[in-house]
Structures are given as structure tokens and as C-alpha cells.
A and B are shown apart, each in its own frame.
Chain A
């Protein structure tokens, strides 16, 4: 990823995003800290934090192939779990003390089964995520979170009190607020930070303990407050999609003149646009409501498409977006149908839309550049 940012905070964050392990995790572990990996932004990481555990969002970063995981997945399975599991089979995730999966999609839920059978990670669980966003589903998920809390407590020998949960929620919300401040800067006509750089910062946030991360963010925000963005661009773009954790992908888009000013992706606004209610008497209930009803949802959650579409349109307005790129990984049914609908909705409001199918590991860079150039041309930019 190309960058002109000289901020040392940014350099540290970008380094954390460029690999799986990073110095902050090393340091955490050397002080006896436990690390639990998790898939999907619906996992209530606050519960892990309340147990004194570092939640580590799973990625296949650095993977060069799926020769090991191919024996466990089909050729019609998404490349994200295939690469991530391949990294695990190679030992890149041996540092985990646990793995928390969730019934998010047909592809990722099989990671739980394969992992359980093949890797000796001591604590492995899968949560049942409802498929709707109603009150009975909040109640169900509240029970699931409570079960998780009990199981974590038993396994790791910690008491996860309501107070500790509240503290974790508050800390996580701090992260969300700081991240929103970062995004605020991107509303400027000349943002001081690019989409690729922002993604690096967001990805880093999923693999660094919250307190040092928040401190780095504050430093970065201070550094950026003084600078003016000098990058020239042809159009302001929003990227919409799922598991995108590779800043180089956005770098290629921005290299063609399309500045990514906002997003709705698994590492972006959907994880931080709204806070968990800190005033609720029942912190577990507050988490359940947040993860099922309050945060911007993804197409996994049935019956919420209108709200998601509105969310996109609000972001388009706030960030003065000129065009939207919908990215999805091959064989992802959720985003296949979601982008089908996004295309219709955005056409109605006159926003150009480009759908890009991709594999988890960036390939076909030339083709990608060509498609972005063509998209910008058709936008008249």
C-alpha cells in the first residue's frame, strides 16, 4: 500500500494490519494475556474483553494458497475461510487460546467443524446467530451471549461480572467513537487519509488490545488534524461489501483516481457507526440489542434490507459520494443478492454502481484497474 502519511502511529497500525501476528499481541501474551480468535462482526467481543481476553478477528492475511485447506473445503466454497483455515493449518494461529465462531454464513460456519476436528485449540465454540432482527431474536441472542459468558468464565477461570462487562462496553465504545472521528476527517473535500490507509487502521483495531489501539488512534487523529490531504482524485467513492481486510485492494482503486471516502464493510462503518447502550441496566441485553437490531446490519440479517439501503444513502449524502463499488467474494450468496438490490436502489437515486467479484487474495490487478478506470469514465469523471 502506498502512503504519504508520516505519522508513526499510522506506521504502527499499518504494520499490524499487514500480517497476522503483531508486536502488541506478542507483548500481550508475554504478560500472560489470553487471545481468542473470532469470525464475523456479530460476535460480541465485549464479552471477551470483559474476561480479560484479547479478541482477535480472523484473517487469512499472508496466505499464498489453499493447498492444505482444499482437503476440507469444496471448490464452491468462499476463498476467505479457505485461506484463513489454510493459515491455521500452517500454524499461523497457534498462538490462539480459543476460537469463537458464529453461524454467520454457509462457508464460515464450516470453519468451526473443520477446526474442531483438526486443531488443538483448547476453547472452541459456535454461537447461534438469529436470522432476523425482531425482539424474540434479541431475546434468543441475549441467552446465547449469557451462555458464552458462562462458558468463558468456566474455561478461563474468570468472573465476568456485569461491571466488567460495562467497562468493556465503554472501552469498545471509545474505540468506536475514535474511529468515527477518523471517518469525519474523510468528509472533507481533501481528506487527510485515504480509504486504503483507513482500512489499515480499522483492520489493526481488530488485532490490537483496545487501550493501546485507542492511544494510537488518538495520536493519529492529532497528527491528521494538522494536515491537509493532497491527493488528487476524480471521484469520491464508497465501497460496500463483506470481508475486505486488504488495504491494497482499495489502493488499486484509489490509484486510478477513485478516492474511497467511506464504506459499509465488515471492517468499516458497520462495526462502529453506532455505540452499545452504556446506560442499560442489563449489559448483556444491551449487547444483544446492539448486535441484532441497533448496529448497521449485513445481508445475513433477514428483513433489514430497507434499513441497510437507507444507511448507504445516508452515508452517500454525508460523505458526498459520487459512486459506489459493491465488492463480493465469489460464491457469496448473501452479497450476490444484496448487490443485486443495491444496484436497483442506487439507480433510483442516481448513484452509479459497479459490482466487482473477487477472491480473498488479491489477483487480477490489471483487470481491476481497467474496470475502475471504465467506471470513472462512465461517471464522467
Chain B
């Protein structure tokens, strides 16, 4: 059963399947979730989360901890709020292939 986190979106929330996420980093004010799924030699798939407010390194660290907890509770759906701005909503998510961090 998938482990999900929820990100505020409009009047509701959007889900992100975080099964396989092993690392979260801040990059260009976004959160980047690295998945243990190979995209090409030396690369893995990653999801970049663009929020309405800047994501800080501390925010990314908090998200990584939340994901680790969610992964230990299959079927869960945990709402993630940016610690630096709890009103922030998700603007977009995008998949890309990135070098293994």
C-alpha cells in the first residue's frame, strides 16, 4: 500500500506517492525528492515540488523526516506544511532524471 504525503492545494490537498524516496534536498527554493528508481546510468528519477513560497533547507529536512515516517506507515496520508510558512500551497510538481546525489 502506497505511502502518501499531502500538499495543500486550493481548497484541498494533492497527494504525492513517496514510496522509494530516499533523500530530499532544497534546490532553487524548491524541494527535490529523489526516488530509488533508476532513470539512466548514474541517474534516478526525482520529483521537484514547487511551492507558493520559497522552500528552505530546513523545510526540506523536515519533509525528509516526514517522508521517512510515512514510509513506515503504509497507507498513511500525512499533510506536509512548510515549517517556514504554513500557508504555502503547492504550485506544481515535476518529474526529472537527476544524477544520483
Asked whether A and B interact, the reply is no
Q: Which residues of A contact B (CB under 8 A)?
A: none
